[in-house]
Amino acid sequence: MEKVIVIGVRLEDDVNFDDSIDELKNLCLACNYDVVGEIFQNLKKIVTSTFVGEGKVEEIKNLAKELEVQKLIFNDDLTPSQIRNLQKATKCQILDRSGLIIEIFSSRAKTKEAKIQVEIATLNYLLPKLVSSDANLSQQTGGAGSKNKGLGEKQIDLDKRKIRNSVAVLKKELEKVVTERNNRRVKRNKSEIPSIAIVGYTNAGKSTLLNYFVNRYGFKQDKNVLEKDMLFATLDTSIRKIIFDDNKKVLISDTVGFVSKLPHDLINAFRSTLEEAKEADLLLNVVDLSNKNYQMQIDVTNDTLKHIGVEDVPIINVFNKIDKISGIETKNDKVNVYISAYSGEGIEDLISLIKEYLFKNNKKYKLLIPYSSSKVFSYLKEEANVISFEEKDNGILTEIDSSIEIYGKVKQFDINKN
């Protein structure tokens, strides 16, 4: 693991500083960095040129030399000039919080869609930070063959133009992938199966909850998704079909986790992936109740959902990891439920609440299906909850619990309609 020093500035109104630093260290761990030192400073305002004070810069330089560290990681985003000045003063590589998160995303992206989104975010992150350490690059190069022939163009401008062109090409490529995703979503919507999106702060237990459902109600064990006690273990959206014991079906998607100070470029880049949350019938906001700062994490999740345009989608707050805490009062209601996705404690209450939201319009119907229409009975066994059935002389007397959409396809057999 590469050794790093983490650096942070506590401003007067920053009540979440300590938690933010703890999170930064976990982000470093997720990126396979070994935090061997830390330096903090209390300031009324950020120093424009070097972010921290002149004396603190010298302290950072000496500690880096003493610990033989080549990389410094700051808890906030830095300007191009701050990065340049700090690199010059400390002789170390500088990485800010957004850069660290993007580095994690780059290493975790697996699908084509995720890789494109990360690359777009990376280029947008690099664009304003594009500064030249070579004096020759800041000189004008010849403009031969260009519209402004003879005027020339700075190399740095050429580099920026190349980045913008690359972003434009990637966005077009992403549009094709998004179109394919939307087509798959349309097909899923036609199946009349309601959808759930699991959202929440990174490492809150979203993948563990999805795997619990898969193992209990899914089809194959190999459809488990990666779950790991690490920030941003999951980047790609995973969708699984779940069939509850009463034959009620749902589609559940596990989305990328949120984090405080998540770069807007990353939120925007992953907007297409997060569309699963926007188009869902219900959101499960998984909250790590064992984290003392869980209320802040709820606020971050709500702010991020608002940023990507998620509105009018009902949300259940799923307070997870109750197996890790004791002596806390847990009281479920219509929007809050307490569970352990690891042990399964409280899951039954969550399932009941899910059904209450998604299947509240379901009704019971009695049908008489002629033997000549046996395919209809097979359809109902597959798509509805067949409560009971009895073979009669003129057909199969069947009682079902189903949505109005499914009933609409078989209502001609309703004994109360005839």
Residue 191 has a pLDDT of 54
Along the chain (418 residues), what's the average pLDDT of each consecutive run of 10 residues?
Answer: 95 84 90 94 94 95 95 93 94 92 81 81 80 40 40 66 87 80 61 84 88 81 51 62 87 81 68 73 94 88 85 93 85 92 93 93 92 91 88 92 88 84
List the one residue out of 186, 209, 208, 185 whose CA is nearest residue 354: 209
- Contact 267/117 with Cβ under 8 angstroms? no
Residue 266 has a pLDDT of 67
Say if strands 71-74 and 2-11 run parallel, antiparallel, or are unpaired.
parallel
Residue 412 has a pLDDT of 92
According to CATH, what is the number of the domain 2-95?
A: 3.40.50.11060
Residue 181 has a pLDDT of 67
Residue for token digits 């869902």?
A: 280
Rg (CA), the chain: 27
Q: Domain 192-358, what fold?
A: Rossmann fold (3.40.50)
Residue 150 has a pLDDT of 43
Residue 24 parent element (H or E): helix 17-30
In Å, how far from its chain's centre is CA 386?
Answer: 37
Torsion of CA 270, 273, 275, 281, to 10 degrees: -140
Work out the burial of residue 213: count CB atoms within 10 Å of its CB; fewer than 13 is exposed, 13-18 middle, 19 or more buried: buried
- Contact 396/368 with Cβ under 8 angstroms? yes
